[in-house]
Structure 1
Amino acid sequence: MEFVPSGKELSHFPFLKKAQDPIRSRFASLGTLLGTPKGEVLVSHAVTRIQEAVTPKKARVPDVSETPEDEIAAYALARIIASCVNDKQLIDRLTRYEAERAYYFLVNEEEWNSRYVQDEGEYSRLWTAISDELGIRITQDRMPVPDYVELVAPLHDDRYRLINRQVIQGFVAINKNERYELLRERIRVLLRRDLPHRVPKEICELLAPRAAEIKKVYQEQMLRQFGKVEESAFPPCMQALITALAAGTNLTHAGRFSLTAFLHNIGLDTAGIAELYARSPDFDIEKTMYQVEHITGRGGSSTEYTTPACAAMQTTGLCVHRDPLCERVSHPLSYYKAKKSRPLKPAPAKPQVADKNLKTPE
């Protein structure tokens, strides 16, 4: 018999096709819905969902206080609003939040695991339904090598590297906890791949006030994380790159990449990054904007890059003028946050050792 999730279960996993079908029929015209009191309520729920996604310290237990239909509608509207805002970092946070939310419900609802457990092992019918729809092939606690390699590519944990795994006859061994973690990653990737939606202009205009509200909240979160951009708090490596730009030195590809990614990660917008590059005597606005948009993921590429760590900066020869704070951090972003939050105190002076060859003045 085909497994049919309950309304409650669908509200916990609103990305499933069975969750979306009733919403499409209930809210056939989005433009009409947004102009109603019910639409305003749902949009408010969607905005709250996005705000929760961009908040660093999230609630331990996700809030589910509305009807299943309204929860699913709020999920869909949150993705539409995020698409109208069209900020890659915000979209990344939203998709990661939704994946974490699904992970929580799947792992912590013991009722489901006891209610829908199958005869062969601990695979619940709910797990099977979700994994089948998302294309996860894990059976008998193992997964085909090609599927595994594709799935773990974005993960940086060494334990997921194929060289550290047990591989038997073309299958990778997967334990129970990892099974849930891999499903979470699959949810994140698929949800991210689908955004931003191509939302009609008139819909984004209707949602413009709420989109502006989201932008304000997100910018405030960025300011709390990194604060106002202060060049004086840049690590020595980034200071050196900016100095080289001003001196007319052509930066290496690694140098341009590292500086652009760093400036983007601390919250500087594309125009602000281009303004720094404008200090170069041979500044080319079109070339610069193309490179900046590629690295920040705003151009044709869907990849948004992160600042290389200190070890990578050393490898490319960009780690220069190290100072005492450099010895305490392993990433340029960590240096920047530490420098802004608590300025480095000067190291205590070393006690002077008397030189035996110096005579005491009489």
Structure 2
Amino acid sequence: MAFVPSGKELSHFPFLKNAQGLIRSRFASLGTVLGTEKGQILISSAVHRIQEALSQKKNHVPEVNDSPEDEIAAYALARIIVSCINDKQLIDRLTRYEADRGYYFLVNEEEWNTRYTQDEGEYSRLWTAIADELGIRISQDRMPVPDYVELVAPLHDDHYRLINRHVEKGFVKINKNERYDLLRERIRVLQRRDLPHRVPKNICEQLAPKVAEIKKVYQEQMLRQFGKVEETAFPPCMQALITALAAGTNLTHAGRFSLTAFLHNIGMNPTSIAELYSRSPDFDVEKTMYQVEHITGRGGTGTEYTTPACAAMQTTGLCVHRDTLCEKVSHPLSYYKVKKTRPLRKPAPEERKPAPANNPNTQ
């Protein structure tokens, strides 16, 4: 008999098809539901879910306070709200939260791991059902090489590189803990691939007050995270691009994209970013503003781009003048954040040399 998760289990894994089917008949018309008292309760739950995704807390236990149907509806509404906002980083935060949430429930619910244990292997029926729906093929603790390579592509941990794995007869060996990690990554990738939704304008208008609330919280958090733009905290790669612009050098497409995305991510407005390019020999104000607005999500499809990671900067030849901090981070934004929060180093006593007695400036 095919395994069918219970309502409680579906509320913990609301991305499953059965979970969506559970609420489809109950909430047939979203526009109608949002205008009701029940709809407002669900919206508040969805906002709380997004706020949890934005929280800086780590390893927090996901809250489950409502009925399975309401939990699943709040999950769906949260995805609709972030789609109305259409901010790439916010969407990334929510999808990562949902993946971590599913991971937590699957790993920590001992009742499920004993109740659904199969005779063969250590796999629970619940894990198998989720893996099957998400297209993960693991049998006898092995995964086909093509499936494995696709699944670990976004992961940066050297542990998961194929060269560091045990491969035999076209299969990669997977242990118990790794299968949970891979499942979490699969949840994140599939959830991210599906967003943003194309939400009808009237729905976004109904959600406008909550959208504004989330935007305010998110912007305040970004301001606390990065604060005032400080060029002295820029990573060497970005400093080099700024220096090249000041010298009147034309940047490559990759250089323009990386610098623009970085400056936008740390809080610089599009007009100020465009002004930096005014010294370029081929400067064209209309073309530059178009490119800046496209990268910052203010034009075209509304897609907002994030600064390329250090690995990508190396690939495009933009990673230059690496310093000791570069060796400890994997992203230019991480470098900037760390550099800004580091206190200024005070010289050691032996470094504080007294000025010569005959120096007129000390008289």
TM-score for both structures, normalised by structure 1? 0.86
Q: Mark the runs of 5 or more structure 1 residues left unpaired by the alignment.
A: 353-362
Q: Provide the residue aligned with 1:282 in structure 2.
A: 282
Q: Distance in 1 between matches of 2:58 and 2:138?
A: 30
Q: Provide the residue aligned with 1:319 in structure 2.
A: 320
Q: Distance in 1 between matches of 2:89 and 2:254?
A: 22
Residue 130 (structure 2) pairs with residue 130 (structure 1): yes
Q: Secondary structure at the match of 1:128?
A: helix
- Aligned letter for 1:34? L
CA RMSD of aligned residues (A): 2.8
User: How far does the alpha carbon of each residue in 1:182-205 deviate from its partner, in whole angstroms, 9 at most, with x for none?
Assistant: 111110011001000000001001
Q: 1:122 to 1:301 in 2, by over 3 A?
A: farther
User: How far does the alpha carbon of each residue in 1:82-121 deviate from its partner, in whole angstroms, 9 at most, with x for none?
Assistant: 0000000000110000000000000000100110111111
Q: 1:294 to 1:170 in 2, by over 3 A?
A: farther
- Aligned letter for 2:54? V
Q: 1:34 to 1:118 in 2, by over 3 A?
A: same
Q: 1:5 to 1:223 in 2, by over 3 A?
A: same
User: How far does the alpha carbon of each residue in 1:6-59 deviate from its partner, in whole angstroms, 9 at most, with x for none?
Assistant: 111000000111111121110111111111110000000000100110112146
User: How far does the alpha carbon of each residue in 1:166-187 deviate from its partner, in whole angstroms, 9 at most, with x for none?
Assistant: 1111111110111011111110
Shift in Å, 1:311: 11
Residue 186 (structure 2) pairs with residue 189 (structure 1): no
Q: Provide the residue aligned with 1:36 in structure 2.
A: 36
Q: Provide the residue aligned with 1:357 in structure 2.
A: none
Q: Provide the residue aligned with 1:5 in structure 2.
A: 5
Q: Provide the residue aligned with 2:345 in structure 1.
A: 345
Q: Secondary structure at the match of 1:89?
A: helix
Q: Distance in 1 between matches of 2:316 and 2:176?
A: 38
Q: Distance in 1 between matches of 2:42 and 2:272?
A: 36
Q: 1:103 to 1:272 in 2, by over 3 A?
A: farther
Equivalent runs, 1:122-161 vs 2, <5 Å: 122-161=122-161
- Aligned letter for 2:56? P
Shift in Å, 1:253: 4.1
- Aligned letter for 2:182? L
Residue 310 (structure 2) pairs with residue 309 (structure 1): yes
Q: Secondary structure at the match of 2:324?
A: helix
Contact 1:255/1:318 (8 A) holds in 2: no
Q: Provide the residue aligned with 1:333 in structure 2.
A: 333
- Aligned letter for 1:102? G
Contact 1:148/1:172 (8 A) holds in 2: yes
Q: Distance in 2 between matches of 1:276 and 1:303?
A: 20
Q: Distance in 1 between matches of 2:286 and 2:105?
A: 47
Contact 1:246/1:281 (8 A) holds in 2: no
User: How far does the alpha carbon of each residue in 1:296-323 deviate from its partner, in whole angstroms, 9 at most, with x for none?
Assistant: 6886797944344399569936534x8x
- Aligned letter for 1:22? L
Shift in Å, 1:4: 1.5
Q: 1:45 to 1:116 in 2, by over 3 A?
A: same
Q: Distance in 2 between matches of 1:136 and 1:142?
A: 11
Contact 1:55/1:221 (8 A) holds in 2: no
- Aligned letter for 2:168? I
Q: 1:167 to 1:339 in 2, by over 3 A?
A: closer
Residue 15 (structure 2) pairs with residue 15 (structure 1): yes
Shift in Å, 1:244: 2.6
Q: 1:32 to 1:260 in 2, by over 3 A?
A: same
TM-score for both structures, normalised by structure 2? 0.86
Q: Secondary structure at the match of 2:345?
A: coil
Q: Secondary structure at the match of 1:327?
A: coil
Shift in Å, 1:128: 1.0
Q: Secondary structure at the match of 2:23?
A: helix
Q: Provide the residue aligned with 2:359 in structure 1.
A: none
- Aligned letter for 2:307? T
Q: 1:134 to 1:293 in 2, by over 3 A?
A: farther
- Aligned letter for 1:319? V
Contact 2:307/2:333 (8 A) holds in 1: no
Q: Provide the residue aligned with 1:179 in structure 2.
A: 179
Contact 1:307/1:333 (8 A) holds in 2: no
- Aligned letter for 1:218? Y
Q: 1:338 to 1:114 in 2, by over 3 A?
A: closer
Contact 1:131/1:137 (8 A) holds in 2: yes
- Aligned letter for 1:104? Y
Q: Distance in 1 between matches of 2:152 and 2:24?
A: 33
Q: Provide the residue aligned with 2:358 in structure 1.
A: none
Q: Provide the residue aligned with 2:168 in structure 1.
A: 168
Q: Distance in 1 between matches of 2:134 and 2:222?
A: 32
Residue 213 (structure 2) pairs with residue 248 (structure 1): no
Q: Provide the residue aligned with 2:205 in structure 1.
A: 205
Q: Secondary structure at the match of 1:60?
A: coil
Q: Provide the residue aligned with 1:121 in structure 2.
A: 121
Q: Distance in 1 between matches of 2:165 and 2:28?
A: 48
Q: Mark the runs of 5 or more structure 2 residues left unpaired by the alignment.
A: 354-363
Q: Provide the residue aligned with 1:92 in structure 2.
A: 92
User: How far does the alpha carbon of each residue in 1:96-150 deviate from its partner, in whole angstroms, 9 at most, with x for none?
Assistant: 0000000000000010011011111111110111111111000100011111111
- Aligned letter for 1:80? I
Residue 64 (structure 2) pairs with residue 64 (structure 1): yes
Contact 1:258/1:308 (8 A) holds in 2: no
